[in-house]
Amino acid sequence: MRIIIAGAGEVGYYLARLFDQELHEIIVIDNNPERLKRVEDNLGIVTILGDSTSYKILKEVKVETADMLIAVTEWEAVNIVTAITSKKLGAKYTIARISNMEYLLDKKTLDLHNLGIDELISPESLTARVVKHILKEPLLTESLKLYDDKLIMMGLHIEDQAPVINKTIAETTSLNPENCFIIVAIHRKGETIIPKGQTQIKKGDYLYFIATNAGKDKVLKYCGKVSITIKKLLILGGSRTGARVAGRLCQYYDIKLIEKDINKCKELALNLPKVQIVHGDGTNVKLLEDEEFGTYDAFVAVTENSETNIFTCLMAKETGVKKTIAMVENIGLFNHSLSIGIDTLINKKLAAANFIFKNIHNGGIYSFLYGLDAEILEFEVGEKSRVTQKIIKDIDFSALTIITSVVRNGNAYIALGNFQLQSKDKVVVFTLSKDIRKVEAFFN
């Protein structure tokens, strides 16, 4: 595919990186040479300096032959104009990033599809979706639905109460009698381990599972987790993201939102029914105590300041809040999220990029798992693939890859060693990042 990305900011950069892994032909346009340099230096992708709304630039990148145009600059108007112009010039599929929720809410009146934009994405709205998703499964540090919800990838933190501490995986098979889940990775002290039967589970480990729907509860039991439900939610920061999260979740939870700008508070109070708006500085411990923040089930820190978010989340964790979510600006921090001690980190650009990637793209890499050097891959087994000739344990994979599960005729199975793959099976493979190419070769 030929993909043109307008805007080399965080979203554009991250998308370029995702698509590049799949050997697409990518061109990045931006009017900031420094950003383009970063793309070229780190990713080796072709870049064009210029304004993406310019007809000349669009001609120069041969937009008419593009399969996809993704406009993700910081400026909504630029994105919309770029997408519309490109569509008229012949781009097959266009995506524009917006920040104004109006376009998403009132689709009937102003139908941007007719104007030539195939997909509108709003990072704030997508972040709210992520938060909603996380709060639904508060025990999981990571969760990812695969194959139309038939399978789920779950990440859990092993704490004192887990019955599996200091046991090898082989020793714990009694806890998984129906083979409805499989451990696919262990994150321990900054290192990613692809587990074998004799790998020992330690306290403080982060375990990653793939489970069928029936296996979800078994996984929680395996890790000694008692299920909790979130009722009261405290949001810190009334930025667009905070407002969007509150607006989206107010029908499910009792929400209190703290914002330090009084005018923003007023605007939020007027526009968000059912949400209690509190005026105050989130970094002020006294205020947080006044607002009884320890009594909340979940704490979501989405101020503009990443440090504030991390700091208040740690404090909330300390006072007994069950689930803490911090928004961070710097994607680099994600690699350390597990060691920071916050349950979950979110980033709105990442949310946007992941959304585009997942929904536009059919098959292939699902997602990077931050903090892990591993990736989840999805393949359909090809007609003449080598893997159909043997049962799984005899396939000569690299030792660092696991075929985790298979969807066959609409049913999901956890794949064990003596499972025989057939063509047209859809498999989920867990592998260390460096082995992706090798694994791909097996299935095609």
| Closer residue to other proteins in complex, CB, 62/279 | 279
Based on the shown chain and the rule CB under 8 A, indicate whether residue 235 belongs to the binding site for other proteins. Answer: no
Q: How many angstroms separate the CA atoms of 129 and 136, rounded?
A: 11
**Residue count at the site for other proteins (CB under 8 A)?**
15
36/272 with CB nearer other proteins: 272
Q: Choose between 66 and 258: whose C-beta lies nearer to other proteins.
A: 258
Please classify residue 54 by burial: count the beta carbons closer than 10 Å to its beta carbon, then call 0-12 exposed, 13-18 middle and 19+ buried.
middle
Cβ nearer to other proteins, comparing 106 with 261: 261
Q: Which range binds other proteins by CB under 8 A, 201-209, 260-268, 367-375, 419-427?
A: 260-268
Nearer to other proteins, 175 or 269 (CB): 269
Q: How far is the CB of 258 from other proteins (least distance, A)?
A: 8
Q: Which is nearer to other proteins, 290 or 318 (CB)?
A: 290
Give the nearest distance from C-beta 327 to other proteins in angstroms.
22
Residue 250 sits in the site that holds other proteins (CB under 8 A)? no
The distance of closest approach from Cβ of residue 321 to other proteins in the complex, given in angstroms and rounded to an integer, is 17
Least separation in angstroms between CB 261 and other proteins? 12
CB of 443 to other proteins, least distance (A): 56
> Which string of x and - marks every residue 166-205 that binds other proteins (by CB under 8 A)?
----------------------------------------
| Least distance to other proteins, CB of residue 272, Å | 9
Structure tokens that stand for 127 in this block = 């972040």
Instruction: Identify which of 220, 170, 224 has the alpha carbon closest to the alpha carbon of residue 200.
Output: 170
Question: Residue 319 or 367: which CB sits closer to other proteins?
Answer: 319
| Nearest distance in Å: CB 273, other proteins | 7
Compare residues 124 and 291 and give the one whose CB is closer to other proteins.
291
Residues between 266 and 285 with contacts to other proteins, criterion CB under 8 A: 266, 268-271, 273, 276-280
287 is a site residue for other proteins (CB under 8 A)? yes
Q: Please identify which residue in 30, 142, 291, 375 interacts with other proteins, judged by CB under 8 A.
A: 291
Tokens of residue 197, six digits: 């039967």
User: Nearest distance from residue 274's CB to other proteins, in Å?
Assistant: 10
Task: List the one residue from 60, 178, 290, 304 that touches other proteins (CB under 8 A).
Answer: 290
Q: Supply 67's token pair.
A: 């399969």
Cβ pair 132, 248 in contact under 8 A: yes
Nearest distance in Å: CB 257, other proteins: 10
Query: Residues in the site for other proteins, rule: CB under 8 A?
Result: 265-266, 268-271, 273, 276-280, 287, 290-291
